[in-house]
Amino acid sequence: MQVSRSLKKVIFWLLGIPVTLLILGIYHGLMQTIYRAGFLNDSSFLKIEYFQGLTLHGVINAIVLTTFFAVAFGHACMTFFLKREPNKKAMWISFWLMVIGTGLAAWAMLAGKASVLYTFYPPLKGHPFFYLGTALIIVGSWIPLFDWARMYREWRRENPTTKIPLAVLGTLVNFIIWFVCTLAVAYEVLVLLLPWSMGMADINVTLARTLFWFFGHALVYFWLLPAYIMFYVMLPKLAGGKLYSDLAGRIALFLFLLFSIPVGVHHQFSDPSIGQNIKFFQGLLTYGVTIPSFITAFTIAASLEYAGVKRGSKGLFGWMKKLPYLDTNNFMFAYLIAGLILFIFGGLTGIVNASYSLNNVIHNTSWLPGHFHMTVAGPVFLAIIGMSTYLYAKMSGKKIFLPKVNVIIPYLWMIGVLIFSTGLMWGGLIGEPRRTNLGMTYLNPKHELFTPEWVPTTMLALLGGIIMFIAAMLFIVVFFGTIFRKSKLEAVLELPYSEAYHDEKRIPLFDRFKPWLVTMAIIIVIAYTPALYDAVTNPGPKAPRFTPANPVPDLLKIKK
Ligand code: HAS
C-alpha cells in the first residue's frame, strides 16, 4: 500500500535513530564481557567506567531501541491492517518528545552523571536530566496509543462484525499494558526521584523499587509483544503455511493484558519489606503469565509443522528440516525462528526464576543476565533488527545490502547468545554475581585468581559476547548498507500476513476490550494494594543519595 511521505519519514527516523545508538549499546555489551573476564581495566579505556558502560548498554538496548521500534512497528501495523494513517501532528509530537528525552538521558549518561543502570533504583542517584529524559520518552510513546484508538474506533464503525485484525489487537494490547505500567514509573520518576535527585526531598527506597517493578515486569512483555505479533501474523506465512488457530492468538494476547502487570513483586522476593503472602500470590500469577507463552509455543509449532508438511516433509520431526532457514528473499523467517529457538531456553529459565525457593539461589547472580539475554536479546532483539531492515527496505524500495550475510546474522547471533548465556548461568549457579566487576576484574593485577571457578564461566561469556558483537556489527553494515543504496523497487508499506488454518467464528468476548480491561484492573488492585501498603508503611531507613564515582575506585589498590 502507498503511504504518505510524512508517515514514511517518521518510521524511518524511529528505526534509524535507535539503530545508530545501538552501535554504542552493543560496544558496551562486548566491553562488559571483556571486563568481567578480567582483560581490561574499564577506567583505562575510553574513560568510561564499568557502571557508566553498563547503564549505556541497558538504557540504549532495552529502553530506547525497544520503545522507538514498538512505536514505529505500531504505526506500520495500524496503517497497513486498518488501511488508514495516524494523525500527522500526533505522530510528530510523539516523535520529538521521544527524541528530546533520549538526548537528555544520553547526555547525562555520557557525561558520567547518571551511572544508575537501566533500573535506576535509589539510592543510586542520577542527574535530573536523566529522569526528565526518561519521562519524556515515556510520555512521547503514550501519544500514539490515543491516536491508534481513534483509528480503531473509526474502523470498527465501518466494520462492526469483522474480527479485529490480530496485529491490531496485539498493538493495542501492548500499548495498553505500556500505558498502565508506565503510570507507576512516571509517578516514581516525577514525584519521588526528580525532587530527591535535586536534593529537595528524602526517598522511600522500597516504594520506589515497588513502583519500578510494577512497571518493570510489564516492560518485558512490552518488549516481547511486537515479536509475538510477528510470530502469529507473519511467521506461518513466511514458513509457507498458515496460522494453526486464530483464536489461540487472540486468547494469548488478551491473557497478557491480565497477567503482565500484577507479577512485578517476583523481582522483589528478597525485599524484606514486602510480606510473604503477597509474594506467594504474585508468584502464582507469574505462572499465569507463562500460559500465553505456552499457548504460543504449541500454536506456532503446529503452524510450522503444517508449513513443513506442505513442503513435503515426512515423519514426526521431518517438518523441522523443510523450513526455509536460509532463504535470502525471505530473511525475516531466519530472524524469527532463531529468536523462537532462543526463547525455548529463555522461557524455561524464567520459570526457574519464578519459583520462590529457586529464586533464592539465582537472585542477583549472573544467572539473571543469562536468562534475559535469551529473551530480550533473543526473540525481541532479533525481531526488532530483522523487521527494521525489512520495513526500511520495503518502504524505501531498496534492495537488501549483502543478502547472504543478512540471512546468516540471526543464526550467528543465536549461537553467540547460547554460549554467552551458558557461561553466565553456569557462573550464577556457582555464585558469580551480576552487575559487578569487583572494582574492575575478577583477577588481581598479578593475574592471580580470586575465584578460579569463575574463569571458565567468564571466558565462555566472553566467547559468546565476541560472536554476538560480530553478528551485531554485520547487522549494522547490512542496515546502513541498505539505507545508502539507490531505490530500484516500488516503495510500499507491505507486511506479510497469514491465513488461519482454523479460522474460528467471531466470538464477541475475544473481539472486545472492555471485559478484559475490567478484569485487568481488578487483578492489579488485588495484587498491588497490599504490596504498596507494605512499601509505604514499612519503608526501612531513608537512603542517602549515592552517586557512583567516576571512575570507580580500584578496590584492589584500596585493599593494599
Ligand atoms: Fe524474565 C527477570 C520470570 C519472560 C526479561 N526477566 C528478568 C529480567 C529481565 C527479564 C530483563 O520470576 C531481569 C530484570 C532485572 O534487571 O533485574 N520471565 C519470567 C517468566 C517469564 C519471563 C516466568 N523475562 C521474560 C521475557 C523477557 C524477560 C519474555 C524479555 C523479553 N524473569 C522472571 C523472574 C525474574 C525475571 C522471576 C526475576 C528474577 C530475580 O530474582 O531478579 C515467562 O514469561 C516465560 C514464558 C515463556 C515460555 C517459553 C515459550 C516458548 C516459545 C518458543 C517455542 C518455539 C518454537 C520453535 C515454536 C514458557 C514460545 C520450534 C521450532 C524449531 C525449529 C525448534
Average pLDDT over residues 128-139: 95
pLDDT at residue 49, rounded to an integer: 77
DSSP states of 519-545 as a string?
HHHHHHHHHHHHHHHHHHH---SPPPP
Q: What is the mean pLDDT of residues 98-111?
A: 97
pLDDT surpassing 60 at residue 501: yes
pTM value is 0.94
Q: Give the residue with greater pLDDT, 436 vs 154.
A: 154
pLDDT at 552: 46
Most confident of 178-182, 188-192, 435-439: 178-182
pLDDT above 80 for 461: yes
The pairing of strands 500-502 and 243-245 is parallel
Please determine, for residue 376, whether its predicted confidence score (pLDDT) is greater than 90. Answer: yes
Q: What is the pLDDT of residues 216-243, one digit of tens each?
A: 999 999 999 999 999 999 999 999 999 9
- Asked whether the beta carbons of 186 and 135 are under 8 A apart, the reply is yes
In this predicted structure, what is the pLDDT of residue 556? 42
- Catalytic residue at 266? no
Instruction: Tell me, in angstroms, the distance from the centre of ligand 1 to residue 375's CA.
Output: 6
pLDDT at site 533? 95
Residue 256 has pLDDT above 90, yes or no: yes
Residue 499 carries which DSSP code?
A: P
Q: How far apart are CA 81 and CA 168, in angstroms?
A: 7
SS (H, E, C) 50-84: HHHHHHHHHHHHHHHHHHHHHHHHHHHHHHHHHCC
pLDDT tens digits, one per residue of 260-310: 999 999 999 999 889 999 999 999 999 999 999 999 999 999 999 999 999
Per-residue pLDDT, 38: 78
| Average of per-residue pLDDT across 11-26 | 97
Mean pLDDT over 388-404 rounds to: 97
Please name the helix (run of DSSP H) or strand (run of DSSP E) that holds residue 502, with its range, or none.
Answer: strand 500-502
Residue scoring higher pLDDT (528 or 548): 528
pLDDT at position 543, please? Answer: 61
Question: Does any ligand 1 atom lie closer than 6 A to the CB of residue 294?
Answer: yes
Mutate to test the pocket of ligand 1, among 213, 267, 280 (most ligand atoms within 8 A of CB): 267
Comparing 432 with 266, the larger pLDDT belongs to 266
> Is pLDDT above 50 for 557?
no
Q: Among 100-114, 443-457, 462-476, which stretch is predicted with the lowest mean pLDDT?
A: 443-457
Residue from 28, 127, 209, 217 carrying the catalytic annotation: 217
Per-residue model confidence (pLDDT) at position 550 = 47
Count of CB atoms situated within 10 Å of the CB of 559: 8
Q: Closest Cα partner for 141 from 105, 169, 193, 100?
A: 100
**Considering the chain, what percentage of its residues have pLDDT values greater than 70?**
93
Give the Å distances, CA to CA, from 44 to 274, 287, 447.
41, 45, 17
Q: What are the b/e assignments for 271-310, b being 16+ CB within 10 Å?
A: bebbeeebbebbbebbeebbebbebbbebbebbbbbbbee
Ligand 1 in contact with 264 (CB < 6 A)? Answer: no
- Specify the pLDDT at position 77: 98
pLDDT of residue 554: 45
Please give the pLDDT value at position 51. 86
Phi, psi of 501, rounded to the nearest 5 degrees: -70, -50
Q: How many residues does the chain have?
A: 560
- pLDDT at res. 435: 83
Phi/psi region, residue 398 (left: phi>0; alpha: psi -120 to 50; beta: rest), is: beta
Q: Which of 373, 392, 401, 479 is catalytic?
A: 373
pLDDT at 544 over 80: no
Round to whole Å and give the CA distance between 27 and 247: 42
Nearest atom within ligand 1 for CA of residue 270: 41
pLDDT of amino acid 448:
53
Q: How far apart are CA 392 and CA 406, in angstroms?
A: 14
Helix (H, G, I), strand (E, B) or coil at 30: helix
What confidence score (pLDDT) does residue 551 get?
46
- Average pLDDT of span 90-99: 98
Provide the 3-class DSSP secondary structure of residue 546: strand
**How distant, in Å, are the alpha carbons of 45, 437, 555 from that of 558?**
21, 15, 5
pLDDT in tens, 356-373: 999 999 999 999 999 999
| Mean pLDDT taken over the chain | 92
pLDDT at 431: 86
Confidence at residue 548, expressed as pLDDT on a 0 to 100 scale: 58
Known catalytic residue: 317?
A: no
119 lines ligand 1 (CB under 6 A): yes
User: Would the CB of 376 count as within 6 Å of ligand 1?
Assistant: yes
Mean pLDDT of 374-379: 98
